[in-house]
Amino acid sequence: MIGDRIEVNIGGGLDVPIPRMVNVRQKFPAVKLDDVAGEVAAQFKRPDIRAKIKPGQTIAVGCGSRGVNHIADAALAVVNGIKGLGGKPFIFPAMGSHGSATAEGQKQVLAGYGITESAMGCPVRATMDTVEVGRLEDGAPIHMDRFAAEADGVVLINRIKPHTNFRAPIESGILKMLVIGMGKIIGATTLHTYGMDTFGELLPRVGRIIMAKKNFLFGVGLVENAYDETALLEAIPAERLFVREAELQAQAKEMMPRLCFDEIDALIIDEMGKNISGAGFDPNITGRNNRCVDWNMKPRVQKIVVLGLTEETHGNATGMGLADVITMRLFRQMDVGPTYANVITSAYLDGAAIPIIMNTEREAIQLAIKTVLRVKPLDCKIVRIRNTLAIGQIQVSEPLLEVVRRDPGQFEVLGAPMAMKFDEQGNLQTAFRAA
């Protein structure tokens, strides 16, 4: 049993020195869309989008669990656009097993992003009930949210980005929400048994079956730049989804940020959560993925330390198993129910494995430094980030400064090296702490 503190005999103890850290800016292209609501309104002026909505139709608008920038603004603008064409919109959560795989939990996830009935001016209808809309060749059923299936038409809003577990022309975005998100826990579980390595072929196949049976109208896809800002937004009619989403995903990959180092001894991540990434912290950024996933990406990181969960993740710690060390605070923040529901649905069970737990943030960081192989503590190449969506400004240890200074086009040093500061409870006092 794990109590309030863990007492363990560590050879030589944990009193190892921590290198001084320096604030550094990573430079990326920064195309930015300033008026998300205005761009949605402009998309609704297109004839091919206006033709999709008929007066009096009930339109289900699906929103997911990711922390998409300006998602509430986009959702409200979509609702208003549908109303302006005479439609009767309602919002529904299209998020598979997230939100504890309960209707109320999924409704709470949306509320956390500002998507409520009062804010949107329309009903928010959440259910875990599904209808079967078809079957795959082997007889596997294809599920769809009951409320969405009963509507006259469906519109989906989602960020288009590289997925955290597979590579294909279309990965994470409108199509995945259509197939996995709308399938709720039963549909998501069924399709995940095929393995995410098959999703590049499976998602389009299932998507076409759903489109043939139900009136999917269009998706509103958002692409974000390297600084987690909305770069572009586009309404994609159903008949163009497979071509256009692939093109937008290619743009998303070009805009995606990275940690611009080949080798990192210890990566410190202040916060993780489902609003940050489906994997809690994005393997596209950390270079590390679940066991048995073919993932040959940089940086190569020896030790990953995660300090806490975001409030928006509601205790869902999916992905913590990819870390080496977590804090007691993170362990206490974890809600086993939603974490297990999400991880079991994905079939990648190591996502819920519990890493080494240290009592404080200082101990967690020192343990990572102590266990880096063949490197003295003060020579450790350490990178600290707030989360994997926010890597424009980072901290690096002094041993990485040589790499930073060699590439002024990629990096800007923002200050002098400073020692990490901890309070009396052993928690960090400087930079990146979530409000």
CATH of the domain at 135: 3.40.50.11440
Q: Are residues 273 and 219 in the same domain?
A: no
Q: What is the pLDDT of residue 432?
A: 62
Q: Are residues 266 and 401 in the same domain?
A: yes
Rg of the chain on CA atoms, in Å: 22
Write the pLDDT tens digit of every residue in 93-135.
999 998 889 999 999 999 999 999 999 999 999 999 999 999 9
- Work out the percent of the chain whose per-residue pLDDT is above 70: 99
Q: Is 321 helix (H, G, I), strand (E, B) or coil?
A: helix
Write the pLDDT tens digit of every residue in 208-228.
999 999 999 999 999 999 998
Q: Are residues 304 and 406 in the same domain?
A: yes
Instruction: Please say whether the beta carbons of 283 and 297 come within 8 A.
Output: yes
**What is the C-alpha separation between 357 and 328, in angstroms, rounded?**
6
Q: What average pLDDT does this structure show over 368-379?
A: 97
Q: Are residues 122 and 201 in the same domain?
A: yes
Instruction: Please say whether the beta carbons of 85 and 53 come within 8 A.
Output: yes
For residue 424, tell me if it sits in a domain. no
For residue 206, tell me if it sits in a domain. yes
Backbone angles phi, psi at 275, to 5 degrees: -75, -20
Q: What is the pLDDT of residue 358?
A: 97
Taking alpha carbons only, the member of 324, 404, 332, 405 closest to residue 365 is 324
Q: Are residues 283 and 371 in the same domain?
A: yes
Q: Are residues 240 and 382 in the same domain?
A: no
Exposure string over 48-65, b if 16+ CB within 10 A, otherwise e: ebeebbeeebebbbbbbb
Write the pLDDT tens digit of every residue in 53-66.
999 999 999 999 88
Q: In sequence order, what are the residues at sequence separation of 6 or more whose Cβ sits closer than 8 angstroms to the Cβ of residue 111?
A: none
Q: What is the pLDDT of residue 435?
A: 34
**What is the C-alpha separation between 129 and 183, in angstroms, rounded?**
9
Q: Are residues 192 and 295 in the same domain?
A: no
For residue 85, tell me if it sits in a domain. yes
Q: What average pLDDT does this structure show over 191-202?
A: 94
pTM for the whole thing?
Answer: 0.91
Write the pLDDT tens digit of every residue in 321-342.
999 999 999 999 999 999 999 9
Q: Are residues 304 and 329 in the same domain?
A: yes
Decide if pLDDT at 433 tops 60.
no
Cα-Cα-Cα-Cα torsion 326, 332, 338, 339, nearest 10 degrees, comes to: 20
Write the pLDDT tens digit of every residue in 241-285.
999 999 999 999 999 999 999 999 999 999 999 999 989 999 999
Q: What is the pLDDT of residue 3?
A: 85
Q: What average pLDDT does this structure show over 27-33?
A: 92
Helices (H), 178-320: 184-192, 199-213, 241-255, 283-286
For residue 79, tell me if it sits in a domain. yes
Q: Are residues 109 and 144 in the same domain?
A: yes
Q: What is the pLDDT of residue 274?
A: 93
For residue 208, tell me if it sits in a domain. yes
Q: Are residues 297 and 187 in the same domain?
A: no
Exposure string over 260-280, b if 16+ CB within 10 A, otherwise e: bbeebbbbbbbbbbbbbbbbb
In single-letter form, the type of residue at position 298 comes to: K
Q: What average pLDDT does this structure show over 369-392?
A: 97
Q: Which one is predicted more confidently, 100 or 235?
A: 235
For residue 212, tell me if it sits in a domain. yes
Q: Are residues 233 and 264 in the same domain?
A: no
**Which residue, 255, 277, 308, sits at the end of a domain?**
255
Exposure string over 16-33, b if 16+ CB within 10 A, otherwise e: bebbbbbbbebebeeeeb
Dump strand ranges (E) for 27-146: 58-63, 88-93, 130-135, 141-145
Q: In sequence order, what are the residues at sequence separation of 6 or more whose Cβ sits closer than 8 angstroms to the Cβ of residue 325?
A: 303, 304, 305, 306, 355, 356, 357, 358, 364, 367, 368
| Full domain range(s) for residue 162 | 36-255
**What is the C-alpha separation between 358 and 367, in angstroms, rounded?**
8
Decide if pLDDT at 47 tops 60.
yes
Q: What is the pLDDT of residue 434?
A: 42
**What is the C-alpha separation between 60 and 152, in angstroms, rounded?**
8
Decide if pLDDT at 345 tops 50.
yes
pLDDT, averaged across the chain: 95
Q: In sequence order, what are the residues at sequence separation of 6 or more whose Cβ sits closer than 8 angstroms to the Cβ of residue 168?
A: 199, 200, 201, 203
Domains contained in the chain, number: 2
Q: Which one is predicted more confidently, 429 or 360?
A: 360
Confidence of residue 431 (pLDDT cuts 50, 70, 90): low
Q: Are residues 271 and 397 in the same domain?
A: yes
For residue 2, tell me if it sits in a domain. no
**Which residue, 193, 226, 255, sits at the end of a domain?**
255
Write the CA distances from 297 to 168, 198, 263, 305, integer angstroms: 16, 20, 11, 19
Q: In sequence order, what are the residues at sequence separation of 6 or more whose Cβ sits closer than 8 angstroms to the Cβ of residue 260?
A: 26, 407, 410, 411
